[in-house]
Structure 1
Amino acid sequence: MKRAPAVLLVIAGGLAVIGLWWSSAVVTASGAALTTAVAELAGMIASYLVCIQLLLIARVPWLERAVGLDRLVAWHTVVGTSTLFLVLTHVGFMIIGQWITAGHGPVAAYLGLFGLYPDMLTATIGTAALLLAGLLSARALRRLLPYEVWYWSHVTIYGAIFLTFLHQISAGPVFVGHPVTRGLWIALYAATAACIVLWRIALPVLRFAQHRFEVVAVVPESARMTSVWIRSRRPELLDVRPGQFLLFRFLARGHVLTAHPYSISNLPADGLMRITVADLGDHSGRLRELPVGTRVLLEGPFGGFVGRRRTGGVLLIAGGAGIGPIRGLAEQFAWMGRSVTVVYRASRGDDLALYGELAEQPAVNLIPLIGRRTELGFDPLDAASLGHHVPDAAQREAFVCGPPTMIAKTADSLRALGVPTAHVHFEELSFA
């Protein structure tokens, strides 16, 4: 497995951190000493995982090629949750240790830590910011928040990490009086910061300087869907495939402060690429107002939502804004000479953006499935319906893009129809 080296490297680093803690830990039968030792271990592992969490989304090229950005984002979420629990463990056990020693209540015990350890104020501020960002990332809250709130809460994490790092270096028993381990820890954080600056900031700026990406057209495709055409002045350097996505930062009022992930909806040619975006009421809803000539900063391309096989038929299933990457893939596969069937799911006929383009391609068999389940009395994407429309589904490579609920339902249907798991590819419209 390509991702095995990355996993082994993370585990090896974790074991090294535990070894560093053990070299200076004071573990005795004393309740206060034991709880403090546990707190220090939890704090060190949490600090290490913070670097791992940042590296997972630092756009490190070899890591993305080995693992894939979608899996890295999933790992980032898991590591982030684990880090928050370890931070709470660190704080809680430090308070308990001081409580046992001083014999006062938890509040007094926590305040007492300010007299024992340096940089406690910065650590408190940084920890509070980390916990707030973690809370806002919870799935239940994330769905209720505008993307911009989630985005900027995560931007503050960089400052929070710096504040807690000061406390680690000045108060951690592994580092105080130990210049070698202190230097190694500083090097770990410096290398992590360098990766972020290089691949998240410097590379997009360099790419912008080379391509000078700009908006050349904004086209309403339906009541809720808008296409934005973007041109590169260096088309020979444009390396993006249908099905992949990029992070777009439009340098216009109301857009410049955030970058959003959008998939390519055409087969890029002559330096032109297109994104087709649904109006979800936030940043995406304002794309229709973008002025022509707007400059664009890009990160990417990302994603493995591309064909693995070179021959055989393909089944492309789109729901809502999922038509963007599906439209690009349909054109590519038709150009390759593969048999292409596109199943387009929509609640209403006027939601079928890009339908005319697909219908005009003679090599594409287009199947619209229109209507709400409550009105139809069945799910058009269940196994019986899908099998009726695409009787040879089991012999095709399947690509599905749409909302999470649609993905789950379609996965069950394809499994029931006998499509091999290795021939099914999903792109969930939920990057964050």
Structure 2
Amino acid sequence: MATFRATAWSRHLGPLTIGVLVGAYVVLWLAYRPSGEPTTAYLGQLVGAVSVVLLSIALVLISTLPVVEDWFDGIDRAAIWHRRLAITGLVLLALHIPFASSPDGTSPGQTLGAVAAWGLVGLALWAILPRWQSVVPRPVRGWVKALRDVPGVRHVRVGLGGYDRWRDLHRTTGLFVGAAFVHGLLDGSPFHESSVLRWSYVVPGAVGLAFYVYREAFSRFFRSLHDYEVAEVSAVAGDVVEISLRPIGRPVAFVPGQFAMVYIEAKDGWHRHPFTIASTPADRHLRVTVKALGDYTSRLRELLEPGMPAVVGGPHGRFSHAKGGGDQVWIAGGVGVAPFLSWMRALDEHPVPGRVDLYYAFSGGPAPFAEELVAIADGRDGVRTHLVDSRADGRLTADRILADTGVPGSRLSVFLCGPEPMLRDLQRQLRAAGVRWHRIHREYFDWR
């Protein structure tokens, strides 16, 4: 059986390490500046080198290796920091271009630099496109929507759209980072004068590219994969579907609250998607709960049939109530109930040391699995389920939680999973109510 625990500081170990490494790298550039280097050009090359280092670290974080997951207290946190480092690296790359100049610039180096810049910017824009409404000013959104339906643009959208296409092209990121890395080696004038600067650039860049090569070429031979088949696809409530998978051979071992990469051969081909496991380790069947959000998930009932082959990879994630104390609050929003569903179903095998108040927030009924959650809580001392219909009861607040539990905020351990806006507001309220930062634990399922 897979197990894991973490200290209050474990979630900050990865970001702290990155901060120390990047800070030390900048200090090296300031301390070992070769004589005769123009200040503006040198700072421009420093910014470019830091950009490559950040992008290389981002490649390490997306490798999905267990050591990375342990380092960041969960692959979801590693993915979030991958995104942050990639964005920061692109911003620095944009600053590098107008200010960096090298008297030793080479034609191959300049070509690789242009390829890297255009490739990385193109991938970034494609990543932003699904979230275009969050970056486009409201008055302009109507024009953008009209433009999307123009025949030529519509055909491009269809050709480029879809998660699978985005994922396949996003995997080329390492190639463009490699081009930027070689460009720096060829055209970085400080590297010809200082071996310290040269090797401090080569090592992180080479490590990042090595992780990229491993992920793309060799990781498939080392992944923990388990054969399953679809046993049942059932509608739960509204647009929520539960998929039950039957193991063929050795089942995956997991801890309640973890998620898995699920590959299923549907009527239109193979699909890959990360899903939170909603069943318990003691169940024979593996159950995942899915909300219709994209093209694939919205057509599950028509695309899947019993007997279709499936492969489960993982498990991943470090979302566990074992990190909490004796007074715990679990907050689920919408389909974010999945990990708590697994926790509730597995209370016999994975008991909580004290009292639990589960808040399940939804907008209009019926709420998926609400009756089952209430029934589980009714049969146990110290476990209560609170159903919060935002349409009828208003939004869930920290004041209501503290009033219901009667426990000071400083004693509570809080676990959250749900939509980003809801959790962001609740985290702010909980901190203001006295809940300590290291006692607030969140499952970042929305990164998937």
Specify the TM-score bucket, using the shorter chain as the normaliser.
0.7 to 0.9
- How far apart are 1:423 and its partner, in Å? 3.5
Distance (Å, rounded) in 2 between the aligned partners of 1:180 and 1:315: 51
Distance (Å, rounded) in 2 between the aligned partners of 1:402 and 1:38: 43
CA contact (8 A) 2:415 2:440 kept: yes
Superposition pairs of residues 314-353 of structure 1, within 5 angstroms:
314-333=328-347, 335=349, 336=351, 338-350=354-366, 352-353=367-368
User: How big is each residue's C-alpha offset from its partner over 1:289-330, in whole Å with a ceiling of 9 and x where there is no partner?
Assistant: 234332225244123343324x73533221111111111112
- How far apart are 1:66 and its partner, in Å? 3.1
Distance (Å, rounded) in 2 between the aligned partners of 1:303 and 1:159: 31
Residue of structure 2 in register with 1:128 after alignment: 118
1:219 aligns with 2:234: yes
Distance (Å, rounded) in 2 between the aligned partners of 1:302 and 1:220: 26
Q: Secondary structure at the match of 2:172?
A: helix
In structure 2, what residue type is equivalent to 1:228? I
CA contact (8 A) 1:345 1:368 kept: yes
Distance (Å, rounded) in 2 between the aligned partners of 1:119 and 1:62: 34
Residue of structure 1 in register with 2:47 after alignment: 42
Distance (Å, rounded) in 2 between the aligned partners of 1:226 and 1:152: 26
Q: Secondary structure at the match of 1:247?
A: strand
Residue of structure 1 in register with 2:59 after alignment: 54
Residue of structure 2 in register with 1:93 after alignment: 99
Residue of structure 2 in register with 1:141 after alignment: 132
* Count of aligned positions: 403
Q: Secondary structure at the match of 2:309?
A: coil
Q: Give 2:317's match in structure 1, choosing from 302, 318, 334.
A: 302
CA contact (8 A) 1:215 1:228 kept: yes
Return closer, same or farther for 1:262/1:77 CA change in 2, 3 Å cut-off: same
Residue of structure 1 in register with 2:388 after alignment: 369
Distance (Å, rounded) in 2 between the aligned partners of 1:66 and 1:143: 31
Return closer, same or farther for 1:25/1:84 CA change in 2, 3 Å cut-off: farther
Q: Give aligned-pair identity as a percent.
A: 23
Distance (Å, rounded) in 1 between the aligned partners of 2:427 and 2:115: 44
1:424 aligns with 2:440: yes
In structure 1, what residue type is equivalent to 2:236? E
Residue of structure 2 in register with 1:242 after alignment: 256
- How far apart are 1:261 and its partner, in Å? 2.9
Distance (Å, rounded) in 2 between the aligned partners of 1:178 and 1:242: 52
Distance (Å, rounded) in 2 between the aligned partners of 1:129 and 1:34: 28
Distance (Å, rounded) in 2 between the aligned partners of 1:255 and 1:175: 49
- How far apart are 1:240 and its partner, in Å? 1.6
Q: Secondary structure at the match of 2:20?
A: helix
- How far apart are 1:86 and its partner, in Å? 1.8
Q: Secondary structure at the match of 2:346?
A: helix
Residue of structure 2 in register with 1:63 after alignment: 68
Return closer, same or farther for 1:347/1:119 CA change in 2, 3 Å cut-off: same
Q: TM-score, normalised by structure 2?
A: 0.74
Q: Give 1:193's match in structure 2, choosing from 209, 218, 223.
A: 209
User: How big is each residue's C-alpha offset from its partner over 1:121-157, in whole Å with a ceiling of 9 and x where there is no partner?
Assistant: 3331221121233344559538699655653553231
Return closer, same or farther for 1:233/1:182 CA change in 2, 3 Å cut-off: farther
Return closer, same or farther for 1:313/1:9 CA change in 2, 3 Å cut-off: closer
CA contact (8 A) 1:312 1:339 kept: yes
C-alpha RMSD over aligned residues: 3.9
Q: Secondary structure at the match of 1:131?
A: helix
CA contact (8 A) 2:28 2:197 kept: no
Distance (Å, rounded) in 1 between the aligned partners of 2:372 and 2:427: 27
User: How big is each residue's C-alpha offset from its partner over 1:63-113, in whole Å with a ceiling of 9 and x where there is no partner?
Assistant: 32232234333332332222112211221113xx59xx9xxxxxxxxxxx9
Q: Secondary structure at the match of 1:59?
A: coil
Distance (Å, rounded) in 2 between the aligned partners of 1:383 and 1:12: 38
Distance (Å, rounded) in 1 between the aligned partners of 2:245 and 2:282: 11
Compare relative contact order (CA 8 Å, sep 6+) and give the higher one, 1 or 2: 2
- How far apart are 1:348 and its partner, in Å? 1.6
- How far apart are 1:346 and its partner, in Å? 1.4
Residue of structure 2 in register with 1:268 after alignment: 281
CA contact (8 A) 1:213 1:230 kept: yes
Residue of structure 1 in register with 2:154 after alignment: none
Unaligned runs of 5+ in 1: 102-112
- How far apart are 1:24 and its partner, in Å? 7.4
Q: Give 2:86's match in structure 1, choosing from 65, 80, 84.
A: 80
CA contact (8 A) 2:106 2:187 kept: no
Q: TM-score, normalised by structure 1?
A: 0.77
Distance (Å, rounded) in 2 between the aligned partners of 1:200 and 1:121: 25
Unaligned runs of 5+ in 2: 1-8, 136-160
CA contact (8 A) 1:126 1:164 kept: yes
CA contact (8 A) 2:360 2:385 kept: yes
Return closer, same or farther for 1:251/1:143 CA change in 2, 3 Å cut-off: farther
- How far apart are 1:55 and its partner, in Å? 1.2
User: How big is each residue's C-alpha offset from its partner over 1:225-275, in whole Å with a ceiling of 9 and x where there is no partner?
Assistant: 111223444547x33211222333434466746x43321112122553221
